[in-house]
């Protein structure tokens, strides 16, 4: 059990992540996600309260904590004037690897993250996705037991996001404990074993993704008929499947909240039977804003992190 | 992309001894590589001092020394000191920029001494002082400056200057760690360096200055350094000036290095 205790630099939050699992910390900008990570990474001291990582106190045993953690910040923290390889070797050397071993570890990580060919180029020439991968690689040089990923996919396109997700999953498979902060319920749902939703420095909900989705109303089906004239018929199909009236939040689009995954297949089947073509049909999780509205009754505020 | 993150079976053997020295040197190397890859960062220790030498020698040489050749002999050891000391300012500015970037967060999350990134920066920037001295030696030689003593003695002048600059640069490190922006660091460093370097006999003999200014020149540690450099390159009294310069160096290091490290620890 790893316990992340109370901190009142935030308004006071309790987070706990079990070893070998992913704890997702979900919240809008300014909720205190980065502050929590910085305290746990020994970069910032809490004004009050305690935090422990792997049983070690982050203030009194900071040096030992630093031996078992890896940090990937919100903005890729690599040195842009150094090559990918040089970045990794530097971290290895700072972690007391012998030169040859630092190089071997660097080469291994570059290969694992698909950066071997870019290894000799300065990091400033990397694309956003490559930089993120190098950043992740840099936090893994010392094979940490606990990894902090502070919004690791913010600003990445969906394909690159999937790449990062794969990496996170393989880390957890190796027994690493991951603390993941994100603004996307979708991401927390895809990766986390447990999710803590925080707002204004407080945990406002905690549970498994399934529990959380139950609270916030599961998923929503969205349909856009190719022929706008058939909107009413489409709405009727959605309403019949969901057992509640469909809404039209935007022109030419109807949506309805659904409880189970089977509903989507049923909608597809019925639309086919009725011969209604669709330009857009999706099953999506509630957005962070919808989660917040359900949990707190107010929408997320855009604040500086 | 393959994703087979090898589990922790292959534990590397870790070095254990002299951690702070090894970490500082690794970070100094980083700083050095960065400087060499962005040579435009060296303009203040290459082209700029050359321009100053030209301006001083041709504008003031006739008035101060009667001719430009004699003035060059008088000026060069002192302007070497000024250039090297100003060269240390960049350490504070670069550090300030570095800290605000994510890479320093990573250093701070690693199990290394809190002072290692600062020592690394200061050591890595020693190259700037060497470049400054080399650059001035070349332009000096071309313009007719001749060492009156011996080469080892002149090299000693350079080394003394580097030692002093190394110790003084901890002041800039402190400023770099404390200030919010790089512009503020530069401004503060200028405010410190102007009285220190110009409040000396660098451009004109001390005797021509008003009394209050002479009093400042007398106590200014940089005066001692400049006089020691002149003595080592041109002949004349050296010992007491050199001792004062070294005493001041040790004092600055003893006071400002711990302050800088403490400020860095506290900076969120």
**Residue-by-residue pLDDT tens, chain A, 305 positions:** 344 444 444 556 677 777 888 998 888 777 788 888 888 888 887 777 778 887 788 888 888 888 888 888 766 688 889 999 999 999 999 999 999 999 999 999 999 888 999 999 999 999 888 888 899 899 999 889 889 998 888 878 888 888 888 888 988 888 889 999 988 888 888 899 988 888 877 788 888 887 877 777 667 888 899 888 889 889 999 888 888 888 787 788 888 888 777 888 888 999 999 888 888 888 877 766 667 777 776 666 544 33
User: Cβ–Cβ of B106/A73 closer than 8 Å?
Assistant: yes
Q: Which helix (H) or strand (E) holds B253?
A: helix B239-266
Answer yes or no: are the C-beta atoms of B264 and B118 closer than 8 Å. yes
Q: How many domains does chain A have?
A: 2
User: Cβ–Cβ of B14/A97 closer than 8 Å?
Assistant: yes
Give the CA-trace dihedral at A61, A65, A67, A69, to 10 degrees.
-170
- Degrees (nearest 5) of the Cα angle A106, A123, B99? 95
Per-residue tokens: B137: 């030696």
Sign of dihedral through CA atoms B2, B6, B10, B11? Answer: positive
Q: Which residue has the tokens 């030689």?
A: B141
Residue A143: which region, alpha, beta or left (left: phi > 0; alpha: psi -120 to 50)?
Answer: left
Answer yes or no: are the C-beta atoms of B12 and A101 closer than 8 Å. yes
Chain B residues within an 8 Å CB radius of A79: 30, 34, 103
Q: Nearest C-alpha of chain A: how many angstroms from B86?
A: 24
Q: Is the ipTM of this complex over 0.90?
A: no
Chain A residues within an 8 Å CB radius of B94: none
User: Cβ–Cβ of B106/A138 closer than 8 Å?
Assistant: yes
List phi, psi (to 5°) of B49.
-65, -30
Looking at residue A61, what is its pLDDT? 85
Q: How many domains does chain B have?
A: 1
Please count the residues of chain A. Answer: 305
Contacts of B134 by beta carbon, 8 Å cutoff, 6+ apart: none
CB pairs < 8 Å spanning A and B: 110
- Degrees (nearest 5) of the Cα angle B252, B195, B120? 35
Answer yes or no: are the C-beta atoms of A129 and A115 closer than 8 Å. no
Q: Nearest C-alpha of chain A: how many angstroms from B82?
A: 29
- Rounded CA-CA distance B123/B119 in Å is 6
CATH code where residue A164 lies:
3.40.50.300
Q: Does residue A118 fall inside a structural domain?
A: yes
Residue closest to A10 by CA, chosen among A248, A225, A230, A181: A181
The answer to whether residue B26 neighbours chain A at the CB level (below 8 Å) is yes
Per-residue tokens: A270: 């019925």
Q: Does residue B10 fall inside a structural domain?
A: no
**Residue A136 sits in the same domain as residue A259:** no
The answer to whether residue B5 neighbours chain A at the CB level (below 8 Å) is yes
Chain A residues within an 8 Å CB radius of B119: none
**Residue A127 sits in the same domain as residue A224:** no
Cα of first residue to Cα of last residue in chain A, in angstroms, is 29
**Residue A189 sits in the same domain as residue A231:** no
Q: Does residue A294 fall inside a structural domain?
A: no
Sign of dihedral through CA atoms A17, A22, A28, A30? Answer: positive
Q: Which helix (H) or strand (E) holds A198?
A: strand A194-199
B151: containing domain: 22-32+40-266
A257: containing domain: 219-284
Going by their DSSP bridges, the two strands A194-199 and A253-258 should be labelled as: unpaired
**Residue A209 sits in the same domain as residue A224:** no
Contacts of B148 by beta carbon, 8 Å cutoff, 6+ apart: B73, B233, B234, B235
User: Cβ–Cβ of A167/B12 closer than 8 Å?
Assistant: no
Q: Does residue A303 fall inside a structural domain?
A: no
Indicate the residue of A73, A96, A97 with minimum beta-carbon distance to B105.
Answer: A73
């Amino acid at each position: 059990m790893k316990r992340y205790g109370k901190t009142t630099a935030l308004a006071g939050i309790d987070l706990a992540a079990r070893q070998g699992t992913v704890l997702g910390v979900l919240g809008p900008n300014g909720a205190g996600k980065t502050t929590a990570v910085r305290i746990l990474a020994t970069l910032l001291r809490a004004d009050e309260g305690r935090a422990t990582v792997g049983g070690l106190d982050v203030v009194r045993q900071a040096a030992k904590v630093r031996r078992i953690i890896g940090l990937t910040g919100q903005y890729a923290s690599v040195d842009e004037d150094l090559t990918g390889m040089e970045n990794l070797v530097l971290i290895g050397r700072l972690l007391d690897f012998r030169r040859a071993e630092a190089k071997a570890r660097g080469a291994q990580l570059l290969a694992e993250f698909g950066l071997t060919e870019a290894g000799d180029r300065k990091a400033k020439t990397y694309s956003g996705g490559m930089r993120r991968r190098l950043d992740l690689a840099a936090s893994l040089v010392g094979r940490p037991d606990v990894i902090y990923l502070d919004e690791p996919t913010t600003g990445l396109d969906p394909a690159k996001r999937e790449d990062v997700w794969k990496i996170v999953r393989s880390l957890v498979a190796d027994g690493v404990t991951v603390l993941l902060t994100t603004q996307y319920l979708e991401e927390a749902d895809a990766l986390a074993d447990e999710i803590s939703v925080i707002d204004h420095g407080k945990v406002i909900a905690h549970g498994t993704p399934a529990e959380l989705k139950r609270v916030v109303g599961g998923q929503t089906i969205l349909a856009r008929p190719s022929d706008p004239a058939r909107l009413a018929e489409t709405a009727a199909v959605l309403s019949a499947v969901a057992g509640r009236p469909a809404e039209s939040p935007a022109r030419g689009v109807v949506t309805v909240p659904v409880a189970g995954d089977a509903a989507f297949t049923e909608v597809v089947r019925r639309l086919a039977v009725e011969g209604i073509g669709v330009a857009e049909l999706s099953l999506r999780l509630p957005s962070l804003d919808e989660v917040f509205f359900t949990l707190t009754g107010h929408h997320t505020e855009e604040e500086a992190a | 992309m393959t994703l087979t993150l090898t589990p922790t079976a292959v534990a590397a053997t870790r070095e254990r001894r002299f951690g702070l020295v090894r970490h500082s040197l690794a970070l100094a190397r980083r700083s050095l590589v960065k400087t060499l890859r962005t040579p435009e960062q060296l303009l203040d220790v290459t082209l700029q001092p050359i321009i100053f030498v030209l301006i001083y020698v041709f504008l003031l040489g006739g008035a101060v020394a009667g001719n430009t050749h004699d003035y060059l002999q008088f000026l060069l050891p002192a302007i070497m000191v000024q250039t090297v000391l100003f060269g240390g300012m960049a350490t504070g500015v670069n550090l300030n920029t570095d800290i605000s970037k994510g890479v320093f967060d990573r250093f701070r999350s690693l199990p290394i001494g809190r002072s290692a990134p600062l020592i690394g920066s200061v050591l890595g920037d020693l190259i700037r002082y060497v470049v400054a001295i080399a650059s001035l030696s070349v332009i000096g030689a071309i313009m007719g400056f001749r060492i009156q003593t011996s080469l080892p003695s002149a090299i000693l002048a350079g080394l003394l200057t580097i030692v002093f600059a190394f110790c003084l640069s901890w002041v800039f490190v402190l400023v770099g760690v404390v200030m919010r922006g790089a512009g503020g660091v530069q401004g503060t460093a200028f405010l410190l360096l102007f009285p220190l370097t110009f409040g000396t006999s660098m451009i004109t003999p001390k005797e021509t200055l008003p009394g209050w200014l002479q009093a400042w020149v007398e106590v200014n540690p940089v005066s001692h350094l400049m006089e020691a450099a002149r003595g080592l390159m041109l002949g004349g009294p050296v010992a007491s000036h050199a001792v004062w310069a070294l005493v001041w160096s040790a004092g600055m290091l003893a006071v400002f290095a711990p302050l800088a490290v403490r400020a860095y620890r506290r900076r969120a």
